[in-house]
Amino acid sequence: MTGARWRRRWRRRLAEPRTLFAKLWDQHRVADLPGGAALIAIDRIFLHERTGAAALGGLKAAGRSVADPARVFCVMDHIVDTRPGRDDRTLMPGGQAFITETRAAAREAGLTLFDVTDPDQGIVHVVSPELGIVLPGATLVAPDSHTCTQGALGALAWGIGSSEAEHAMATGTLRVATPRTMRVTYTGKLGRGVTPKDMILALIARHEAGGGKGHVVEFAGEAVTALDMEGRMTLCNMATEFAAMTGVIAPDEATFDYLAGRRYAPRGAAWDRAVAHWRTLATDPGASFDAELEIDAAALEPMVSWGTSPEHSVAISGAVPGDAGDRPLAYMGLRPGEALAGLPIDAAFIGSCTNSRLSDLRRAAALLTGRRVAPGVKALCVPGSSAVKRAAEAEGLDKVFTEAGFEWRESGCSMCFYAGGESFPAGSRVVSSTNRNFEGRQGPGIRTHVASPETVVASAIAGRIADPRAIGEGADA
Amino acid sequence: MPEPLTTHTGVAAPLLRDNIDTDAIIPSREMKTTGKTGLAEGLFAGWRYLAPGTRDPDPSFVLNQPAYAGATILLGGSNFGCGSSREHAVWALAEFGIRAVIATSFAPIFFGNCVRNGICPAVLPPEAVAEIAAAAEAGSQVSLDVEAGTVSLADGRTWSFSLEAEARAMLTEGLDAIDLTLKLRDRIAAFHARDRAERPWIYLEEQA
Ligand code: SF4
């Protein structure tokens, strides 16, 4: 295309109403590639020790280097132990090498590293917003599928493979096929005890785990704008469970308030300029999407999963569907028609990049105050970052958890996924604030029911899957 | 750099489940080294072996059945490769000898990872995958022509799948995406010059 033709097309495009996604995409389009793909500039890259050494090692083996190390970050979260007093040793067999090799490679490449004992250590998708590394209007990629979490800030943030991470580091760009767009509008207001986790589980249950396939999903509507930033992150976190490329929410005052003063966010005059730019990042009225869905948030109930895909989820007052497949039922040890509420549990887990931020811990602790975990239930709380842990401790939340019978851990991914190290006893039924209930996700034979932190706490207290709305705020101790 | 893949004929193993996730393809506990190799043994470990951590083959799993020994093609259901973005899933498949996965749909990250590692991901409608699976069960080999974008059986039945031009070129020529992109070095530099003026806050080295 000639320069003049390109400019004409460009002006036409600018005059048309555009989606938030289109604005992010156009801002980062370095070149058009054959087949409708584009070369997209990448503003931020985040690595973790599970895949970081492989990507950095691959780069080095090919004789390449990181184009702009100042914009590449690395954190230890996946394999690092979460037991108090941890160091490089981990329960995962061979896990220490992931930590030491990633550390060495990150240092050699000149990246910013949040190491095992760094005060800023934590789960990548918790740390990145916390430090203002992800920003509205930015592109951010990480070799981790839950990178979509960070779309909550109005960024185009998505998970990639290791080879793509090498590509992004070596060139500062990625070759990306233009995704389709979808808007999911949540109308109305959430009821008491119903959370962003329930919003996203309801979407996936209704429209299936493949329902958002390849789309960039914009979450919009009254119930979305009413969410605080941490709630928005929970919502976007599970876009990948909907098979979406990512989720995104238009930045607004809540976003700017959240980011102001964070370490890597702009300051002074640059801040004002940035905010002026960020205010333009909303879908124009009349812009069209490839697909639109609507959900009445006011009609939602707390959700809980019964099977081995997040689409296998129902309202907590519901039951295992009559037409549930044999395989998930056999794995989960359930029968068609069986009620979810009242199922005895062995363990309760609060943690993960979905639901382990300070507001999650506060809401969980509010229900837990003065109550105790049912006898025989193993309960764990793993803060999403070291900063969340410190803030929670400053408010005394750790005491609420430990006095109720929860273990209180160092921050990390912990038992959100099983890497051969720590797990629950085989076959345990676990209510978990995480995002995946796949076979074996939390360990061999572990039966995971994903739910909100509130539902996890209510269930931990009851010793069975329980509706958090049935109990009020905790009794005073 | 992956080996070029233009045409391929081989044994196809049917694994016709939906939502086969990357944890199933390579469980986390099987990702024992920080590199990209040594993963084939852990492929489908949770299904392939009788107990976690052991190596006793489960005879009911398709890749353990004599008819599918040496399978180089996998047949799958919808949303194949969903879940974690771990590229190890594709490295494990490639090391095991898989050259193509034919499924009714793929998770996007997994799809891209296949292309980058010399495995052809082919999307066909459910009826086609079912027919191919039936033929494979009856002992027919399956052929793939990446350039033409077709899957065919020995009896002549043929189906077309679509692949973007660039993905096709990467597979058939074994091209490395980084080298392709670095040819656009000047465009990238021009972008940064413009963008730096427009969004200086993105460029952190200047704020240090
Ligand atoms: S907390 Fe779980 S889902 Fe989130 S990044 Fe860690 S392992 Fe992945």
Is the Cβ–Cβ distance between A42 and A141 less than 8 Å? Answer: yes
C-alpha torsion sign, points A64, A68, A70, A73? negative
B91: number of Cβ within 10 Å:
26
CB contact under 8 A, B192 and A172: yes
Q: Which residues of A touch B113 (CB under 8 A)?
A: 161, 163-164
Nearest to A342 by CA among A459, A472, A198: A459
Q: Does residue A209 sit at the B interface (CB-CB below 8 Å)?
A: yes
pLDDT over 70 percentage in chain A: 96
Alpha helices (runs of H) in A369-396, residue ranges in sequence order: 386-394
Could you tell me the CATH superfamily of domain A305-470? Aconitase, domain 3 (3.30.499.10)
A336/chain B closest Cα distance in angstroms: 20
Q: Which residues of B touch A70 (CB under 8 A)?
A: 203-205, 208
Which tokens is A430 given? 């676990």
Nearest to B111 by CA among B135, B153, B70, B76: B76
**Structure confidence at residue A474 (pLDDT):** 59
Q: Does residue A419 sit at the B interface (CB-CB below 8 Å)?
A: yes
**Nearest CA, atom 7, ligand 1:** A413
DSSP B65-124: SGGGTT--EEEE-SSBTBS---THHHHHHHHHT--EEEES-B-HHHHHHHHHTT-EEEE-
Helix (H) or strand (E) holding A349: strand A347-350
Cα separation, A161 vs A37, whole angstroms:
17
CB contact under 8 A, A439 and B46: yes
Band (pLDDT 50/70/90 cuts) for residue A6 is low
Beta-sheet strands, E only, within chain B: 7-10, 12-15, 73-76, 100-103, 120-123, 142-145, 150-153, 158-160
**Structure confidence at residue A1 (pLDDT):** 45
Residues A108-141: b if buried by 16+ CB within 10 A, e if exposed? ebebbbbbbeeebbbbbbbbbbbbbbbbbbbbbb
Beta-sheet strands, E only, within A355-468: 378-381, 406-408, 429-432, 447-450
B83/chain A closest Cα distance in angstroms: 7
What is the CA A433 to chain-centroid distance, rounded?
11
Band (pLDDT 50/70/90 cuts) for residue A473 is low
Nearest to A127 by CA among A136, A114, A116: A114
Which tokens is A150 given? 């960070």
Query: How many Å lie between the centroid of ligand 1 and the Cα of residue A30?
Result: 31
> Taking the model in full, what pTM does it have?
0.89
Q: Phi and psi dihedrals of A453, rounded to 5?
A: -60, -35
Q: Which domains does chain B have, with CATH numbers?
A: 7-175 (3.20.19.10)
Helix (H) or strand (E) holding B137: helix B126-137
For residue A175, pLDDT over 80 is answered with: yes
Pairing of β B158-160 and β B150-153:
antiparallel
For residue A4, pLDDT over 90 is answered with: no
Q: Does residue A438 sit at the B interface (CB-CB below 8 Å)?
A: yes
Chain B residue closest in CA terms to A244: B108
Chain A segment 283-302 residues within 8 A of B by beta carbon are none
For residue A208, pLDDT over 60 is answered with: yes
Q: Which residues of B touch A66 (CB under 8 A)?
A: none
Contacts of A25 (CB under 8 A, 6+ apart): A38, A40, A156, A178
**Structure confidence at residue A465 (pLDDT):** 98
A135/chain B closest Cα distance in angstroms: 9
Is the Cβ–Cβ distance between A339 and A449 less than 8 Å? Answer: no
In chain A, what are the domain boundaries? 18-36+179-250+284-297, 41-178+252-275, 305-470
Three-state SS at A433: coil
C-alpha torsion sign, points A32, A35, A36, A38? negative
Question: What is the pLDDT tens value at each position of chain B, 208 positions in all?
Answer: 678 999 999 999 999 999 999 999 999 888 887 888 899 999 999 999 998 778 999 999 999 999 999 999 999 999 999 988 788 999 999 999 999 999 999 998 899 899 989 999 999 999 999 999 999 999 999 999 999 999 999 999 999 999 988 889 889 998 888 988 999 999 999 999 999 999 999 999 755 4
CATH architecture of A18-36+179-250+284-297: 3-Layer(aba) Sandwich (3.40)
Cα separation, A74 vs A320, whole angstroms:
41
Contacts of A414 (CB under 8 A, 6+ apart): A82, A351, A352, A380, A382, A422
Same fold flag, A18-36+179-250+284-297 and A305-470: no
DSSP state of A214: T
A202: number of Cβ within 10 Å:
23
Is the Cβ–Cβ distance between A201 and A450 less than 8 Å? Answer: yes
Cα separation, A224 vs A294, whole angstroms:
12
Give the pocket of ligand 1 (CB within 6 Å): A 77-78, 123, 144, 146, 352-353, 413, 416-417, 434-435
Biggest CA–CA distance in chain A, Å, is 74
CATH architecture of A41-178+252-275: 2-Layer Sandwich (3.30)
A441/chain B closest Cα distance in angstroms: 7
Which tokens is B25 given? 């393809």
Cα separation, A432 vs A133, whole angstroms:
28
B37-58 pLDDT tens trace: 899 999 999 999 998 778 999 9
